[in-house]
Amino acid sequence: MELMRVTDGIWGYHSSGGWFLPAKPVSFSVSEGEIVMLAGDNGSGKTTILRGILGLTDKFSGEVQWDVSREKVGYVPQESAVDGSVPATALDVVRTGEPLDWGGSEERANRALAQVGMEEMRRSLYGSLSGGQRQRVLVARALIGSPSLLVLDEPTVNVDAETAAQIGLLLEELRQEGLGMVITSHVKDWLQTTRVVTVLPDRKAATHV
């Protein structure tokens, strides 16, 4: 089953002076049990595209067709997007994935942590965890709502090659369970993907009025 399709999508930042569009148009689809990687150099516009798909960045042109409800889409931001100085446990961070059901979310959060191999560290402070462990917690946070599609922004940023490979194995296990995934990365060989979509920077036409 196809979950989402992007056709000639262009996203960027709109101001009174016009548009800043960091990447050239992209087209791709993702279905159940597929991993699609948006690959490109740092600064090529991958994160802008990812945020645009989720409606967090302005769309300049193109179409996004959803065949799954938005409630079934889990978002995993870059690990650095979460403030590690806040005295929250791994369990607390995962429970923020269901902020409107805090009282009833603990059991589901524990299941999600077990799914990513972090159940035994649920009471550990998030800030005390390694980069790879924090990334697993963020994946668990996205899994708490039982999504059909995961959207992950640079899940291996700031981790070593061994940790990246471990994260890759985790995502492969989730794929085998039927999850579809869209992932941004500037490194291609840490994960076996269904399809790689190369994101090209639009340096010659960055500003559109």
**pLDDT tens, 182-191?**
999 988 788 8
What are the tens digits of pLDDT across the range 25-64? Answer: 999 999 999 999 999 988 899 999 999 999 999 999 999 9
Please count the other Cβ atoms lying within 10 Å of the Cβ belonging to residue 56: 12
Tokens encoding 95: 């429970």
Nearest to 65 by CA among 28, 35, 32, 23: 28
Q: Average of pLDDT values for 178-183?
A: 96
Tell me the one-letter amino acid at 48.
T
Q: How are beta strands 2-15 and 26-31 bridged, if at all?
A: antiparallel
Q: Is 171 helix (H, G, I), strand (E, B) or coil?
A: helix
pLDDT of residue 209: 46
Nearest to 183 by CA among 75, 64, 93, 83: 75
- Please report, rounded to a whole number, the percentage of residues in the chain having pLDDT higher than 70: 92
pLDDT of residue 81: 66
Q: pTM of the prediction?
A: 0.86
Tokens encoding 83: 């403030």
Nearest to 34 by CA among 207, 183, 201: 183
Q: How confident is the model at residue 150 (pLDDT cuts 50, 70, 90)?
A: very high
pLDDT of residue 208: 46
pLDDT at 86 over 80: no
Q: Average of pLDDT values for 199-207?
A: 69
In order of 59, 63, 64, 76, 115, the CA distances from 55 in angstroms are 8, 12, 10, 15, 28
Residues 6+ apart with CB under 8 A from 188: 37, 39, 196
pLDDT at 203 over 90: no
Q: Average of pLDDT values for 114-130?
A: 93
Nearest to 54 by CA among 79, 39, 71: 71
Average pLDDT, the chain: 89
pLDDT of residue 172: 93
